[in-house]
Structure 1
């Protein structure tokens, strides 16, 4: 998720008065075998004006496929960092579907004595928070609330402290004694409560951090958060978990998002020297003008079956491109999306797939896959500056609706120049995404998890 700023989408109305928007679901690679189950997150698109049938979308499953193409493995020498002194620790990363959330979760331990909590990872925001007792307004979850009074290492942060001043102007609330915060995300979810500090441990490594600043949420809501008890903020801001553990991990972390609700990925802090560049393609990390917390990259184009669409650079450069683990489906400038959709449809027609009539709940680029055990679709790749091309895994780009065997294109479009391009979690599946903040670069290693 991204801390709220304006992210409009191009909504439109059919002649019969039905509200719609140009949203779809995508494909990649070559051979695809229908298979595993997963769900899509729709709350974010409602905020953009997309009135999809959420129940229908949540009954979908993502296509499992066999990739016959090759992946780029050339590492760009761009701000190379010495990894020899780095410490690295890895925690298990899972889909949140089994506990009722559509994002990805890790388990961290909080307090003394330590208790385990499931938190959603989010590279689009900074603060780490969990629902706390006593909770005035808490959403549905499957774990005990964190009770600060039972942790001997917990303390609240006072209003006049330097630590309270680290909150941004929109986060910091008026207070008299204890520092209060409020954060609202782009999908409408929000959290409010008190700024705290306590001991946080990363199992199973037992890497422990004393006095880490986090937020005790007493008033929280948001359907996309249901199931987990909070959020692990991995943004670029000063209060993020990444910045607060910089002395140990040197502001370096990576993750690989699993492709199914039963498979596992990983979240690694730090980086081993031996694996720093093996099979990894790096592109420069940049800041974006509207938020210092977001990880920006220079996306130049999108290729379909190896052929770039030829999108003018200015379309991507203004207002830029960011990587966000908390936004499900990639949002593209409308011009880019239109070109991608056109080329995708053309290639699908060449493969013999018939385009279905537009459906308000699924989009306007859907195909009947009934009886097809193997489906051929075009490869889709992201093209970054300096010629770095990353081929998307098929599991992240074609959505099939269970019981109907319909596959739909899954990128989305927003008006040109009004909102950033957001590379979402669905398109990041099975790719290790490496955030080397100290080295000023973002890396991609395909096929890093299942």
Structure 2
């Protein structure tokens, strides 16, 4: 019999490219960008012919945007700025609330960086486990003609929250709102969508994902009411503080660097750290951060985040402290008033380093699995596919088995 790989375009399979897209699991390469202050970027392509660009992975926003020509006020980026006139699939989006039917957007982020432009539909392409590209025609993107990213050099942002224009929302229900990523301050990794984004296995802890009516696009987690944070053996309760909640009190955000806590609760965490560390206090760049004069992190206490459902996330020293050089190591859990998103508590990306983090909208869970994210990870093979090489190995083994059986009978 002729063996036809199930991803084949042969008409005898009776399956279309659409079927392949539904069964595949999209993914993209992730890059740690030191030039942009330590942020995580994913590679994807837009337009026809496709043009590659690098965009910030942001689970705290919903718009996919890139800088576009003509540029009224654009910052310097590494890749060439996207030229819509050279893409055959670019189409300006029309809105009825303006006389000229233009669809404009104006985004301002917590650090006062911004992007202003117009919405359009365009083809977005990323990699896939099927071996073929995962193509998303007529995807809504923002074409930015006026933007400032405060020293960054990436091309734009990929919003991954629950908003209708985010990448994961536009992928459709068959992806089940599943995302996973693994951040490392060195090396490259992958961000997965769909079936290969489910995080499980030994060491995995999972906690409930909450959605709030007032901020329904964010992924909220809940730090336990009795012992939200531990500093070594000291458990710090939220009861009696404004931080107390049962339906979500902290946003998990891949686009924010540090972790922020409300002032009243942060002061308790800070005091617990101060009781353990005996080194000399130093002031770093006139900042109010908790910093010490030392060249080792061994003197600092381990901090654990206790999420609802018994998900105790023991953070490494590099998740919670940073060596700023000049003999200063500082706590990078920071007081809430300086936080973006108007004072919300945020679980930032440094705290997520070296965890495989999975968002599963279908089960309303966020999962964490301790992982060396700097090690190159192989792309999982679809469980329903059988390669020709595997079949060949099976046939050889079967022939040898029959041959040995015949010798025994003789």
Cα pair distance change 1:277/1:314, threshold 3 Å: farther
8 A contact 2:197–2:358 mirrored in 1: no
Distance in 1, Cα, partners of 2:65 & 2:320: 31
8 A contact 1:252–1:434 mirrored in 2: yes
Listed one character per residue, the Cα deviations across residues 393-417 of structure 1 (whole Å, up to 9, x for unaligned) are: 2222211122x2221111111259x
**Unpaired runs of 5+ in structure 2?**
1-21, 375-410
- For the pair 1:129 / 2:65, whether they are aligned, the reply is yes
- The one of 363, 370, 386 equivalent to 1:439 is 363
Tell me the residue number matched to 1:413. Answer: 335
Listed one character per residue, the Cα deviations across residues 337-385 of structure 1 (whole Å, up to 9, x for unaligned) are: 1111111121122xxxx13244453435222224x5x734211111111
Cα pair distance change 1:91/1:329, threshold 3 Å: same
The SS at the match of 1:223 is coil
TM-score, normalised relative to structure 2: 0.77
8 A contact 1:259–1:396 mirrored in 2: no
Tell me the residue number matched to 2:267. Answer: 338
Listed one character per residue, the Cα deviations across residues 149-208 of structure 1 (whole Å, up to 9, x for unaligned) are: 111111111123xxxxxxxxxxxx845132222111121111111111111111365111
- The one of 286, 298, 302 equivalent to 1:361 is 286
| More off after superposition, 288-297 vs 105-114 | 288-297
Q: How many residues end up aligned between the 2 structures?
A: 342
Distance in 2, Cα, partners of 1:187 & 1:280: 33
The SS at the match of 1:328 is coil
RMSD, aligned α-carbons: 2.4
Max Rg structure: 2
Segments ≥4 residues shifted beyond 4 Å: none
Tell me the residue number matched to 1:252. Answer: 178
- The one of 90, 98, 103 equivalent to 2:27 is 90
The correspondence of residues 98-247 of structure 1 with structure 2, limited to 5 A, is: 98=35, 100-160=36-96, 174=98, 176-203=100-127, 206-223=133-150, 226-247=152-173
Distance in 2, Cα, partners of 1:314 & 1:444: 27
8 A contact 2:169–2:177 mirrored in 1: yes
8 A contact 2:24–2:128 mirrored in 1: no
8 A contact 1:101–1:228 mirrored in 2: no
Distance in 2, Cα, partners of 1:208 & 1:313: 51
Tell me the residue number matched to 2:208. Answer: 284
TM-score, normalised relative to structure 1: 0.71
